[in-house]
Amino acid sequence: MDYLAGLNPEQRGAVQHINGPVMIIAGAGSGKTRVITYRVAHLIRSGVDSFNILVLTFTNKAAREMRERITNLVGPEAKNIWMGTFHSVFAKILRVEADKIGYPSNFTIYDTDDSKSVIRAILKEMSLDDKLYSVNFVLNRISAAKNNLVSWMEYQKNDQIQADDISSNRPQMGVIYQTYVQRCFRAGAMDFDDLLFKTNELLKQYPEVLNKYQHKFKYLMVDEYQDTNFSQYLIVKKLAAVNENICVVGDDAQSIYAFRGANIQNILNFEKDYPDLKVFKLEQNYRSTQNIVNVANSIIANNKDQLKKNVFSEKDQGDKIKVLRAFSDNEEGKSVAEDIMQQRSSKGMKWSDFAILYRTNAQSRSMEEALRKLGMPYKIYGGLSFYQRKEIKDLIAYFRLTFNPNDEEALKRVINYPRRGIGDTTIDKIIVAADQHGITPWEVIISPERYLEGRVSGSVNAFATMIQSFQVLTKTQTAYEAALYIAQHSGLLKDLYEDKSVEGLNRYENIQELLNGIKEFSEREDIEEKGLDVFMQDVALLTNDDKDKDKDADTISLMTIHSSKGLEFPHVYVVGLEENLFPSQMSLNSRSDLEEERRLFYVAVTRAEHKLTISYATSRFKFGTLINCEPSRFLDEIDAKYLELDFTARKEPSVGSLNYDDERTSWSRNDDKFSKPKPKTVSAPPKTTSILAKAHVPSANFKPSDTSNLQVGMEVEHERFGFGKVISLEGNKPDIKATIFFKEIGQKQLLLKFAKLSIVNL
């Protein structure tokens, strides 16, 4: 039991309680991965057969990390554990059982681009308005239906769903859904949602299959349980029904994926499914300073729907959380960039120690511009991944077609690349012939003389012969040998090599990098099956985290908060804390949506290890128009004693020259020479709970005035914005708008009937 010595009492209890239903509520930075790996190791050391353990995660990275740690504890037995993402584990089961539901064992897994291509073709065939029936909308609608286990038949029969589609002027959605499912089935393909949908279908329709896996998986563990959707919840519940040795690990405070179908009620109501549940709360945060943890606690305390816990840290108190206020989004970017430069130079930090987190991708623009001007290296996460590049998808399409010639999307992608005289007209004829005869396009291609007229049959026949030769080769060659042969004999490698442009060279090098990856896969000792088809499945099931091939570069990380979940950085900047941005405008319609936004803020704050900086702008460009911004309500929810305000942000000068100093630390207007202002930091006064109150404390006799006779030039006081002067008035009573220049925060436009202004010296 020596391996348990390093665990705290609550962690040890969670590890040792191996029988019956268990819920581990793991606060941010509480050693969740450590507990899961030790618990699995303890199961094996307690006599549980490793083949009977199922561990489900949300990323391949998490699964790999856990398996490595378990191997260090129990040795090679760790190889036998069924461990991986929901999609990878159930894809593995479907490969074995697919014939029962009418699919080949070598079915293709469509990614988002493949699905969009199918939908785009359907919309074109049905002559539907692609603005009303946008590809993204249709795909999201189908995805939501599948995640809620609504088949296309149930979709078309459901009166409420049909009424919703009619009211949104999209009455053909049910037909599109049906056609999409049938098109994928004909191609022997499943999309990501199908991997869960079809698993549910399999377990429901074939009790003997359900019984088989219920007795195989005697112990289940589910990581990040708060992120499960209805489909995942149901599979897990069915598999655990016999033994009920189920352990779920998660944190309701970090449930941020409702837009992808995640249902926080799965973790909040877990005890209702298992009344004998044993609950362990991991409340010690090993990641962040006490101040950062205290701020996170004060934020999440405002949510009503939560599992109560008292997260604490025994690390140093740490710096107070700095709050930066800027007059524009561009200035916010400059302030953040300068602060990073100053922190790095004064504390000897690496660029990779810093991360800038934002609510929406659009916010990266001002940050990027500021970093570029200072020559600071950065990387935006969530951009085009290695496996999404055209040349990579082209070669992988050849691989896919080799193993599943009915894969229509792969076929259309490569049948005329490189060019071989099979144009769009011929491709259309192939598809039409397939539809008319009720067969697949591949069946047309291997017998072109029966279905196609003219001289094109020769080119089509040559293509079919080439693919068939690839199929024979893959049965005897290693993954690398087969991949290299296909790359060469398809003509793809030659086509890229002959392109001597910079882009062509990059594309050729990317193909070489893919082949290198396949060679490395072929030589791995930790896996038994090393065929190209196995490599293809691994690629199809990669998560975004796995697709990043440049994770160790010394660069500042820029990413959305959603992308940051599971990561940590010494110094984190959370930018754009403004109403209608964070929380987003769309989240203000219901309490549940607002609470998810608050959990998102909680996730952002808890990414920071040592230092956290929050910023907001009082104006921001939106759709080409400069709008005034209100500070986020979330700022008001932070206990002021943990904050330090830096409200010395500069206004952009409207006249004179604008110079940038040699030390690159601040902007200044000076017609003769540069003068560097000394920053002033105002500590938060004690005994106040509002960050906004620290910017302005209302006068002792403050009382809203009758503003019906307000005039331009009058001085006023606002309870939060301070003292200002009326610049202009517009509109008619009772909806008169006043434009006021406030000394502390600049110009704002207020609706008088709601502004609660006090007229000074009335």
Tell me: is residue 33 an annotated ligand-binding position.
Answer: yes
**Is 533 one of the annotated active-site residues of the chain?**
no
Using DSSP's 3-state secondary structure scheme, residue 680 falls into: coil
**Is 607 one of the annotated active-site residues of the chain?**
yes
Tell me: is residue 31 an annotated ligand-binding position.
Answer: yes
Taking CA atoms, 696 is separated from 95, 152, 684, 688, in Å, by 65, 58, 11, 12
Per annotation, catalytic residue among 170, 309, 565, 607: 607
User: What is the Rg, in whole angstroms, of the alpha carbon atoms belonging to the chain?
Assistant: 30
Tell me: is residue 30 an annotated ligand-binding position.
Answer: yes
**Token reading at 300:** 């999440």
Per annotation, catalytic residue among 16, 33, 71, 172: 33
β-strands 722-730, 715-718: how paired?
A: antiparallel
Per annotation, catalytic residue among 254, 363, 537, 665: 254
In contact, 106 and 96? CB cutoff 8 Å: no
The Cα 598–Cα 367 span in angstroms is: 23
Taking CA atoms, 360 is separated from 574, 575, 614, 633, in Å, by 12, 10, 15, 18
* Cβ density class 135-150: b for 16+ within 10 Å, e for less: bebbbebbbebbbebb
Tell me: is residue 687 an annotated ligand-binding position.
Answer: no
Helix axes 86-97, 532-540, angle to 10 degrees: 140
Per annotation, catalytic residue among 191, 193, 194, 223: 223
Tell me: is residue 348 an annotated ligand-binding position.
Answer: no
HEC profile of 15-52: HHCCCCCEEEEECCCCCHHHHHHHHHHHHHHCCCCHHH
Tell me: is residue 26 an annotated ligand-binding position.
Answer: yes
**Is 224 one of the annotated active-site residues of the chain?**
yes
The Cα 143–Cα 719 span in angstroms is: 47
Report the half-sphere exposure of 458 (CA within 13 A, side-chain side).
Answer: 3
Strands of the sheet containing 354-358, edge to edge, are 378-380, 556-560, 354-358, 569-574, 608-617, 321-326, 643-646, 682-683
**Token reading at 312:** 């604490």
The Cα 378–Cα 307 span in angstroms is: 37
The CB density around residue 594, as the number of other CB atoms within 10 Å, is 18
Tell me: is residue 27 an annotated ligand-binding position.
Answer: yes
Tell me: is residue 604 an annotated ligand-binding position.
Answer: no
Q: Which residues contact 704 (CB under 8 A, 6 or more apart)?
A: 756, 757, 758
Q: Which of 40, 30, 29, 28 is nearest to 3 (CA)?
A: 40
**Token reading at 113:** 């681009």
Per annotation, catalytic residue among 111, 224, 353, 391: 224
The CB density around residue 291, as the number of other CB atoms within 10 Å, is 24
Binding residues: 26-33
Binding residues for ATP: 26-33
Residues with catalytic function:
32-33, 223-224, 254, 607
